[in-house]
Amino acid sequence: MSVTTLSAKNQVVIPKDVRESLGLKAGTRFEVLAKGDVIVLAPQKSFEELQKVFAGANPAGYRDRSDAGESEWS
């Protein structure tokens, strides 16, 4: 487990082993989420990167807007 410290300028350095394992580079932007007393940093994905994630997804069987008001649980 890597450890880091919040600086006097309120900055945090991501340890080298973590940066290297995730392929993070200078200038990477992060989403910052607070979950209770835990902070989560998630690298932002570009639209092009997200398209690659969902490439080839088969939307068959997904709900459409016509049944958005209905619930199979009611």
- Integer CA distances (angstroms), 20 to 37, 66, 69, in order: 26, 46, 46
Query: Which residue, among 14, 11, 10, 23, has the nearest Cα to 2 in the 3D structure?
Result: 14
Query: Bigger pLDDT: 44 or 54?
Result: 44
Give me the percent of the chain exceeding a pLDDT of 70.
Answer: 85
> How many Cβ atoms are within 10 Å of 46's Cβ, its own excluded?
9
What is the reported pLDDT for 46?
77
CATH code for the structural domain at 1-48: 2.10.260.10
pTM: 0.57
Q: List pLDDT tens digits, range 19-35.
A: 999 999 999 999 999 99
Asked if pLDDT for residue 53 goes beyond 90, the answer is: no
Query: Which residue, among 14, 13, 32, 11, has the nearest Cα to 22 in the 3D structure?
Result: 14
- Give the mean pLDDT of the chain: 84
Q: Where are the domains of the chain?
A: 1-48
